[in-house]
């Protein structure tokens, strides 16, 4: 069994979950953190903004929602979006504010390594420093701009060795914002997943997810930990094959151009 505390920091937001990888199944457990929309009012949430405030002369920053900023007293100091702070200031703020957000989770899951999902390259060094101070092993994954419907990777068995069969389909049930559920289908084609619609099918959903956001995060985490490495050789092989085919096409075009030139010379000799 392989466990990770996954921390998603994309889009200047924060979400955490425990990902457990075992042969035959994947467990994804969203974790709650405490935020304070107002000084004396708190909520425990599974996702929040990287927004903080503090009272005058206070040392510690308090996590809140970006939408709550307007309700705070005017003399409060505000950080609207932590990762947008200048580099020199961020170096201090990130360690301190992450410690506030993650304090209870780090205490509860003391021996579990950290996996950071990010979309900003410049914070990698700061995250390594944070993990080191927390005495945790860590991995950092810079999410790609495009990788198909990456949530499909959350539906694969991490214990399997081979990639899915071309054109095969995996499926799951996803809760939609408290408004019921929907079944989703993902087709594997050319080394990536694409969500598809299916009117009728005999496929039974393989898992159920509390939200589309959880499914997408789990897919990204699974890809970074398991499937990215397994895709390297097949993708390299396909690139080599395409290059060989391209070289063959280039040679054929070259010979056809020579033939066309020769035909033109024959026409000229015959006065055509």
pLDDT value at residue 265: 53
Mean pLDDT value of segment 176-199: 88
Both 61 and 81 in one domain: the answer is yes
pLDDT for the residue numbered 264: 56
32 and 132 co-located in one domain: yes
Q: Residue range 154-165: average pLDDT?
A: 88
Q: Which of 50, 34, 51 has its CA nearest to residue 119?
A: 50
Domain co-membership, 154 together with 107: no
- Mean of per-residue pLDDT scores for the chain: 87
109 and 218 within one domain: no
Residue 146: strand, helix, or coil:
coil
What is the average per-residue pLDDT within 211-238?
86
Q: Is the pLDDT of residue 123 over 60?
A: yes
Structural domain count of the chain = 2
* Residue 116: closest CA among 27, 17, 192: 17
Give me the pLDDT at residue 8, please: 97
Query: 40 in a domain, yes or no?
Result: yes
Domain-embedded: residue 270: no
Residues 86 and 200 reside in one and the same domain: no
pLDDT in tens, 243-265: 777 777 777 777 667 755 665 55
Is the domain of 124 the same as that of 184?
A: no
Q: What is the pLDDT of residue 251?
A: 75
In a domain, 191, yes or no: yes
Q: Report helix, strand or coil for 17.
A: strand
Residue 8, SS3?
strand
pLDDT at 84 over 80: yes
Full residue range of the structural domain in which residue 201 is found = 150-222
Indicate if 138 and 19 belong to the same structural domain.
yes
Q: Could you say which of 102, 123, 142 is where a domain stops?
A: 142
Q: Residue 232 has what pLDDT?
A: 78
Return the CATH number at 131. 3.30.420
Select the more confidently predicted residue: 34 or 262.
Answer: 34
The more confidently predicted of residues 263 and 139 is 139
* Whether the Cβ atoms of residue 82 and residue 90 lie closer than 8 Å to each other: yes
Exposure letters 254-268 (e unless 16+ CB within 10 A, then b) = eeeeeeeeeeeeeee
Residue 177 region by backbone torsions, left for phi larger than 0, else alpha for psi between -120 and 50, else beta: left
């Amino acid at each position: 069994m392989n466990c990770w505390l996954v921390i998603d920091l994309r889009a200047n937001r924060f979400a955490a979950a425990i990902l457990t990888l075992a042969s035959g199944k994947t467990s994804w457990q969203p974790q709650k953190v405490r935020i304070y929309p107002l000084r004396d009012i708190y909520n425990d949430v599974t996702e929040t903004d990287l927004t903080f405030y503090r009272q005058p002369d206070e040392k510690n920053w308090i996590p809140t929602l970006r939408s709550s900023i307007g309700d705070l007293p005017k003399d409060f100091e505000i950080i609207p979006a932590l990762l947008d702070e200048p580099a020199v200031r961020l170096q201090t703020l990130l360690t301190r504010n992450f410690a506030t957000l993650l304090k209870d989770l780090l205490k509860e899951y003391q021996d579990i390594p950290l996996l950071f999902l990010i979309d900003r390259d410049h914070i990698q060094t700061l995250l390594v420093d944070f993990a080191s101070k927390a005495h945790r092993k860590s991995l950092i994954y810079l999410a790609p701009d495009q990788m198909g419907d990456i949530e499909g990777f959350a539906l694969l068995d991490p214990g399997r060795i081979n990639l899915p069969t071309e054109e095969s389909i995996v499926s799951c049930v996803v809760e939609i914002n408290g408004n019921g559920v929907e079944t989703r289908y993902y087709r594997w084609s050319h080394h990536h997943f694409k969500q598809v619609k299916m009117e009728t099918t005999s496929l039974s959903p393989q898992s159920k997810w509390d939200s589309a956001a959880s499914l997408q995060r789990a897919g990204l985490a699974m890809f970074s930990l398991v499937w990215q490495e397994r895709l390297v050789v097949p993708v390299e092989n396909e690139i080599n094959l395409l290059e060989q085919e391209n070289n063959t096409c280039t040679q054929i075009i070259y010979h056809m151009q020579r033939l066309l030139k020769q035909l033109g010379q024959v026409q000229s000799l015959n006065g055509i």
